[in-house]
Amino acid sequence: MSRLTEMGPGTGVVGNKINAGSDLTGHRTDTGIVQEPELAFHGVGAVHIDIGAHPEKTNKLKRRLWEFHSPLICKILGLAFDEMEEGKIVRKLKLKHNEQFPPASEIHGVLVNASTRPNPVSKYLDKMLEERFELYRKRIEGLDQRDISRFIEERGELKDVPLPALIWFAIRHQHQEIDRIEARVFSTIHAMEHRALRLYDDLSRMLPGDKPENVVGELKGAHQLNNELQKRYTRSEQKREQLRAEIGTVEREKQCLTTTVVEQRQLNERLREDLAKLGGESALAQIESLKEKNDLLAQEIKALTEELVNGQFVANKRVDLSPRSKVIAEDEGLTADCRRNQRDINLPLALNGKRVAFVGGLETLLPHYRQTVEHLGGIFLAHSGKYTQGKQEIEKLVDKADIVFCPVDINSHHACRHCKKTCKLRGKACYFLRSSSLSMFRRELIEFARGSK
């Protein structure tokens, strides 16, 4: 086993003993005898390691905790466990100590002293450290122990691996240069301790009202707070960008509305000019008068239709029609109906609940079509004739009807053709009317009622 001790100024190390009469290179000053090959680190707290002979190939046998040099055992335990953890280990293993409430330094010393030789304490700590550092094994897998010792100084890509884990993996296994590796690790850690102590001293003087150990916690809290503030800032930036986009949308909508208002004003101005050309306010009165006349004509048509259906007109009866009514009568064929033979009008007819379907025609005459059918005791069914509603609507209507009337003047060509085809397939009677007038429909309906009687 190699030998490692700390040296003070003016002392030398041979084996595990410190010789006051030796210089820092391991050579005797009183006899001039040179000792076996050794590696010495000079200065305060320097390290002296006896290298000795080594096998040519690296030995990958696992070294146990008590096989490490005691200064490195001290570093690993001190870095891996804090004061609270060390106290729990001492109490769990029931180790003896001088005081009832020993200081942290004494507890640490008890564990380090027990770990320098094989015993239940050192075995327990060896297993505990191996389990704790197993998490980082894959990160250093494939690296030589000399490279790991170099990473202790530089960290670099192994920055996320804790320092005690790097020390552990650097000296855990046998190596042909294990003494040099241990010396390098110890000197590196020793220099880092000096920097850490200087920082600790500066913090102690700068923070007299607080412990320097709490600075790390405060820094973590400040880091978390900074991250939270960064997230809030990011969200605020996103909201600001969103508001900018919304403002741009509102501005564009405002421009569109302004353009629309200008166009509307221009249109209103043109309408005022057109209204002025038509006579101004008097034109509105004329429009209202025409509406009233239109309503009156509609009422007259309704009354005449009811009279025709009930058979109250006679051939030789004189009908006093106003000029307006005569125009409507000529349009609808009512004058011809008035001349219909008394025998044909008064002939008792009845549809006996038959369903009469009407495909197409004028929408304004639909109530009159319906009234004509219902006065003859039938049931009226209607379809607008618009083929955009689909074939199924016409087919359903034909299925329900006993007879179908289809005017060809106001209707869809496709609707007429499909209506004819469907009636033929269903065996239903289908009458194609030359016009959509009420008189034409009434005449054909009477002929159907007379034939079905």
Asked if residue 195 and residue 232 are part of one domain, the reply reads no
Asked if residue 252 and residue 181 are part of one domain, the reply reads no
The reply to whether 314 falls in a domain is no
The reply to whether 446 falls in a domain is yes
What whole-number distance in Å separates Cα of residue 327 and Cα of residue 73?
Answer: 123
The reply to whether 138 falls in a domain is yes
What are the structure tokens assigned to 31, written together?
Answer: 């006899």
What are the structure tokens assigned to 446, written together?
Answer: 């009477």
Q: Are strands 17-19 and 46-50 parallel, antiparallel or unpaired?
A: unpaired
Q: Name the residue type at position 344.
A: D
60 contacts 176 by C-beta, under 8 angstroms: no
Asked if residue 242 and residue 151 are part of one domain, the reply reads no
| End residue of a domain, out of 206, 241, 264 | 206
| End residue of a domain, out of 237, 258, 278 | 278
- Which residues have C-beta within 8 Å of that of residue 82, sequence separation ≥ 6? none
Model pTM? 0.39
Q: Name the residue type at position 181.
A: I
Reduced to 3 states, what is the DSSP secondary structure of residue 28?
strand
Cα 210 versus chain centre, distance: 47
* Residue 82, CA atoms < 13 Å, CB-side half-sphere: 2
25 contacts 12 by C-beta, under 8 angstroms: yes
CATH of residue 393 = 3.40.50.1370
Asked if residue 384 and residue 357 are part of one domain, the reply reads yes
| End residue of a domain, out of 172, 188, 206 | 206
Asked if residue 385 and residue 268 are part of one domain, the reply reads no
Asked if residue 180 and residue 71 are part of one domain, the reply reads yes
What whole-number distance in Å separates Cα of residue 383 and Cα of residue 389?
Answer: 10
Asked if residue 222 and residue 176 are part of one domain, the reply reads no
Angstrom distances, CA of residue 347 to CA of 312, 314, 315? 12, 12, 14
Q: Name the residue type at position 107.
A: I
Going by C-alpha positions, the residue among 182, 149, 198, 179 that lies closest to residue 74 is 182
The reply to whether 240 falls in a domain is yes
Q: Which residues pair with 379 in a beta bridge?
A: 355
The reply to whether 325 falls in a domain is no
Asked if residue 131 and residue 91 are part of one domain, the reply reads yes
Query: For residue 362, what is the DSSP state?
Result: -
Asked if residue 231 and residue 141 are part of one domain, the reply reads no
The reply to whether 5 falls in a domain is no
Domain count, the chain: 3
Give pLDDT tens digits along the chain (453 positions): 333 333 333 333 333 333 333 332 333 333 333 333 332 333 333 333 333 333 334 446 889 999 998 899 998 998 889 888 888 888 888 877 666 677 888 888 888 988 999 999 999 999 999 999 998 888 888 888 888 888 887 777 788 888 898 899 988 888 888 988 888 889 888 888 888 888 888 887 877 666 666 777 777 888 889 999 999 999 999 999 999 999 999 999 999 999 999 999 999 888 888 777 777 777 777 787 778 777 777 776 776 666 666 654 333 333 344 444 444 444 444 444 444 433 444 445 678 889 999 998 888 889 999 999 998 889 999 988 877 766 788 888 999 999 999 998 877 888 888 889 999 999 998 999 988 888 889 988 988 888 765
Asked if residue 233 and residue 199 are part of one domain, the reply reads no
**Residue range(s) defining the domain that contains residue 239:** 215-278
The reply to whether 343 falls in a domain is no
Asked if residue 131 and residue 108 are part of one domain, the reply reads yes
Asked if residue 441 and residue 371 are part of one domain, the reply reads yes
What whole-number distance in Å separates Cα of residue 117 and Cα of residue 436?
Answer: 119
The reply to whether 190 falls in a domain is yes
Reduced to 3 states, what is the DSSP secondary structure of residue 358?
strand
